[in-house]
Amino acid sequence: MMNGIDAIGLKLNNLCGATTDGAPSMIGREKGFVAPLEKEKINSGSSTMKLVKVHCIIHRENLCSKSLRMQGVMEIVVKTVNFIRARGLNHRQFRKLLDEMDSQYGDLLYYTEVRWLSRGAMLRRFYELKEEVFHFMEQKEKPVFHLNDPLLLCDLTFLVDITQYLNNLNSKLQGKFCLFHNLFDFICAFERKLEKRGKQLIEGNVYNFETLSKHSPPDTGACAIEINSLRKEFENRFKDLRSNIVNFAIFSNPFSLEPIELPEHLQLELVDMQCNQDLKAKFNDVTLIDFYQKYLSSSDYPNLIKH
Query: Looking at residues 63-72, what average pLDDT do you find?
Result: 84
What φ, ψ does residue 49 adopt, rounded to 5°? -70, 125
pLDDT given for residue 91 in this prediction: 80
Is the pLDDT at 114 greater than 50? The verdict is no
Q: What is the pLDDT of residues 39-52, one digit of tens each?
A: 777 777 655 667 78
Query: Looking at residues 180-192, what average pLDDT do you find?
Result: 96
Q: Which helix (H) or strand (E) holds 180?
A: helix 180-202
Query: Looking at residues 270-286, what average pLDDT do you find?
Result: 96
The confidence band for 115, taking pLDDT boundaries of 50, 70 and 90, is low
Q: What is the pLDDT of residues 201-233, one digit of tens each?
A: 999 999 999 999 998 888 899 999 999 999 999
Query: Looking at residues 163-177, what average pLDDT do you find?
Result: 92
What φ, ψ does residue 52 adopt, rounded to 5°? -85, 125
Residue 202: which region, alpha, beta or left (left: phi > 0; alpha: psi -120 to 50)? alpha
Amino acid type, 174: Q
Query: Looking at residues 158-165, what average pLDDT do you find?
Result: 94
Is the pLDDT at 112 greater than 70? The verdict is no
pLDDT given for residue 25 in this prediction: 73
Task: Give the whole-angstrom CA distance, residue 160 versus residue 127.
Answer: 8
Is the pLDDT at 16 greater than 90? The verdict is no
pLDDT given for residue 113 in this prediction: 55
Query: Looking at residues 19-23, what average pLDDT do you find?
Result: 81
Give CA 46 to chain center in angstroms.
35
